[in-house]
Chain A
């Protein structure tokens, strides 16, 4: 069985700035993989390169054995890799359920004509999408808010809605950009529980970019550390915690929780 995601010698240069250089890691199916590093280390760039928003300057990225370099983000979603956003990202004017259905419809192939004339096939597709949407909502524990406008949801629930939208596209690998950013401690714990439960429910592979150390150490099977665009370490949480290079570059000497 091929790896879920292989990042092979990926570099991203902005003019003379090497935002990423020679980044290599492999994520096995079902793993929760953490990508950490101090501010400006290139985490967000790595995220954007993997999800197809930015093309890599060199190297290859393979999703389930198939290269996804040069593909549009929407095509990469089709292939099974979906991202969530650091800031809140919802369609604010729609209900929570409609938000998730928008994601779920992506996997339903129906023609424009079929949907305009509302054929049986189109109705079936919509019902299937709605079923998937409910599943994703309930998995994230926001099913009871399905008919509220997404823009009116409390912040923490909007973040979870973002994850539900991503899940409803039925990905094989989920990229999460700082899922705990801006959440209070209680919401952080909720989010961590939600991540564990979606991994179990969907047998998902998850790539997590996160600042919150406790969450990363508690959730991840493996962790890679970026500093100045280069990978300085990779290993289990215990190995990372005791790696002197990591401590020096990132954890510092006093502010590690």
Chain B
């Protein structure tokens, strides 16, 4: 009956929240320092460009993992990134809305689109949900192509203004790199707080046992819609940030293949670990560059990596350290 009983926790997998919190902070600070020194190590514009893509992609895979926590896999994550990108770009170019606000508006619109969509389609489970999100993603791409008077169709929007804060424009690689790092850090911290909070725990309850969750009084549908809207909101912001960085957006900027890449990042890195989606982005983002010479084999290699990881490391690369610990523990006490 006494709450103090919670302190006697011998099992390392279930440390008290405070200790776990300290671990997360420690690792976060280590990674943040590592991220911060990258521009000091290399002055190559090309490497910095890839590093920026890693950071922005990590926000896509992380936000996708929020949705995945409730047991649903969205194949239109890139579609929501595209919505955010177009909204923010159009706002800046046609209405003169500063991109710094445009990013939030882009995210909000993506979230607003996700809300009714999620409400309608989240009653579908498994492959049916995946199929509908796939179709919806294609629909968004077609819209961007066909609404020529607004989106310039296949030509895309050229000359999207850069992001600027208090008159300072983030045009150069190094400042933008730190901006992207700040955004990625915020998304990570937000996700950590969200998943640790009761609302976030409900996400996992729904994933683990939908029927029990509903009978425990958790509104499972509402929970999934909330996760879908939050994830899509972040994707919209990420898409907007990307658009103001590349300064260009077209229907080819965020496609079905981008959604697949985000899923690959999330799974390869590790769905259940907080840092997993980031690790995945770090590994998968440079791949197209490394694999450029292989031409059409790129997607085959993606698929092969996905299959290998699911076969041998179903919880992703983030689970390696736990596995090693488990093995050494077994060795230590035979």
- Are A72 and B209 touching (Cβ within 8 A)? no
Pick from B8, B10, B204, B215: contact of A83, CB below 8 A: B215
A94 to B212, CA, bound (A): 14
Interface residues on B, range: 35 or more
- Are B5 and A85 touching (Cβ within 8 A)? no
Given known A-B contacts A95-B14, A146-B5, A112 and B197 have beta carbons under 8 A apart? yes
Pick from B11, B190, B217: contact of A169, CB below 8 A: B217
A126 to B215, CA, bound (A): 20
Describe B's contact surface by its main secondary structure: helix
Tell me the chain A residues, 173-232 only, with Cβ under 8 Å from chain B. none
Q: Mark B185-220, 1 if CB is under 8 A from A, else 0.
A: 000001001100111111011001101111111111
Tell me the minimal C-beta distance from A168 to chain B in angstroms: 8
Which residues of B have CB within 8 Å of A97?
6
Tell me the minimal C-beta distance from B186 to chain A in angstroms: 12
A173 to B187, CA, bound (A): 42
Q: Does A235 contact B (CB under 8 A)?
A: no
Q: Does A57 contact B (CB under 8 A)?
A: no
Q: Does B1 contact A (CB under 8 A)?
A: yes
Across the interface, name the chain B residue whose C-beta is closest to A95.
Answer: B14
Given known A-B contacts A90-B209, A102-B201, A115-B197, A135 and B219 have beta carbons under 8 A apart? no
Q: Does B9 contact A (CB under 8 A)?
A: yes
A108 to B217, CA, bound (A): 11
A92 to B212, CA, bound (A): 11
Across the interface, name the chain B residue whose C-beta is closest to A126.
Answer: B198
Given known A-B contacts A106-B216, A169-B216, A91 and B208 have beta carbons under 8 A apart? yes
Q: Does B317 contact A (CB under 8 A)?
A: no
Interface residues on A, range: 35 or more
Tell me the minimal C-beta distance from B117 to chain A in angstroms: 20
Q: Does B226 contact A (CB under 8 A)?
A: yes
Q: Does A51 contact B (CB under 8 A)?
A: yes
- Are B216 and A147 touching (Cβ within 8 A)? no
Which residues of A have CB within 8 Å of B212?
85, 89-91, 165
Q: Does B127 contact A (CB under 8 A)?
A: no
A51 to B216, CA, bound (A): 11
Across the interface, name the chain A residue whose C-beta is closest to B2.
Answer: A134
Which residues of B have CB within 8 Å of A75?
219
Pick from A74, A115, A129, A131: contact of B214, CB below 8 A: A74
Which residues of A have CB within 8 Å of B217?
74, 77-78, 82, 103, 106-107, 169
Across the interface, name the chain A residue whose C-beta is closest to B220.
Answer: A74
Q: Does A69 contact B (CB under 8 A)?
A: no
Tell me the chain B residues, 161-187 only, with Cβ under 8 Å from chain A. none
Q: Could you say which of B6, B10, B217 has the most chain A C-beta atoms within 10 Å of its C-beta?
A: B217
Pick from B198, B205, B214: contact of A108, CB below 8 A: B198
Q: Does A236 contact B (CB under 8 A)?
A: no
Across the interface, name the chain B residue whose C-beta is closest to A78.
Answer: B217
A90 to B208, CA, bound (A): 9
Pick from B199, B201, B214: contact of A73, CB below 8 A: B214
Tell me the chain A residues, 38-73 only, with Cβ under 8 Å from chain B. 51, 72-73
Q: Does B3 contact A (CB under 8 A)?
A: yes
Q: Could you say which of A77, A102, A108 has the most chain B C-beta atoms within 10 Å of its C-beta?
A: A102
A67 to B12, CA, bound (A): 47
A95 to B1, CA, bound (A): 17
A5 to B320, CA, bound (A): 52
Q: Does A27 contact B (CB under 8 A)?
A: no
Given known A-B contacts A82-B217, A130-B6, A115 and B205 have beta carbons under 8 A apart? no
Given known A-B contacts A74-B219, A77-B215, A147 and B198 have beta carbons under 8 A apart? no
- Are B9 and A147 touching (Cβ within 8 A)? yes
Q: Does A30 contact B (CB under 8 A)?
A: no
- Are A127 and B3 touching (Cβ within 8 A)? yes
- Are A91 and B6 touching (Cβ within 8 A)? no
Tell me the chain A residues, 115-139 only, with Cβ under 8 Å from chain B. 115-118, 122, 125-127, 129-131, 134-135, 138
Question: What are 20 residue pairs bridging A and B, where the CB atoms are less than 8 Å apart in the complex?
Answer: A51-B215, A73-B214, A74-B218, A74-B219, A91-B204, A92-B208, A93-B204, A107-B217, A110-B198, A112-B226, A115-B198, A116-B190, A116-B197, A117-B193, A118-B197, A134-B2, A146-B6, A147-B14, A165-B216, A169-B216
When A and B form their complex, which 9 residue pairs have the shortest distance between CB atoms, in order from nearest? A77-B217, A115-B197, A106-B217, A74-B219, A89-B212, A91-B208, A116-B193, A103-B216, A73-B214
Show the binding face of B for A, using Cβ within 8 Å.
Answer: 1-3, 5-6, 8-11, 13-14, 190, 193-194, 197-202, 204-205, 208-209, 211-221, 226
> Besides A115-B197, A129-B198, 17 other CB < 8 A contacts?
A74-B219, A77-B216, A82-B215, A85-B212, A91-B204, A92-B209, A102-B201, A105-B201, A106-B218, A108-B198, A115-B198, A115-B200, A143-B1, A147-B11, A165-B216, A166-B216, A169-B216
